[in-house]
Amino acid sequence: MTLYTPEQIYNAARAMLSMLDEDRRQQMRSLLQEADNGADTHMQVLDLLTRDDATLEQLRRLLGIKGIDTFRTLGYAGAAGEPMITKPGAVYVCPVEGCTERYVIGEAGETPPPCPKHHTPLVPEWAS
């Protein structure tokens, strides 16, 4: 799993909070909190996310080739990413299962805002 940066793993974990059961959600929240404070908790985060098939599948989707490209092109994965030029009319959606948040790009180059409910980067509709 070293293919992924801790940042990508934390992003995926944030996007998946709503699909975790109460127990794991609380553990995840504290792991993410520690990560925000500078601790390196991504291995524990991964461990929580890979415990059952549903979350493992979703994690694969979020960290799949498309997912990684998405995080990167949107500039969320840090310095290595080249910002993507968004096109007017392109539709961005929240990657969280069941979330209906959508954003339509108005101007070329505009960056879609994160989902107001999940605080997770929106992804192009084709990638969700």
By CB under 5 A, residue 99 contacts Zn ion: yes
Q: CA 111, 117, 119 angle in degrees (round to 5)?
A: 50
Enter the DSSP assignment of 117: T
By CB under 5 A, residue 123 contacts Zn ion: no
Q: Which of residues 14-43 bind Zn ion (CB under 5 A)?
A: none
36: amino acid identity, one letter: D
Among 70, 101, 123, 128, binds Zn ion (CB under 5 A): 101
Please identify, using beta-carbon distances, which residue of 44 and 66 lies nearer to Zn ion.
Answer: 66
Question: How far is CA 93 from its chain centroid?
Answer: 12
By CB under 5 A, residue 87 contacts Zn ion: no
By CB under 5 A, residue 115 contacts Zn ion: yes
Residue 123, classed as helix, strand or coil, is strand
The owner of tokens 């929106």 is 122
User: Which positions lie near Zn ion, rule CB under 5 A?
Assistant: 94, 96, 99, 101, 115, 117-118
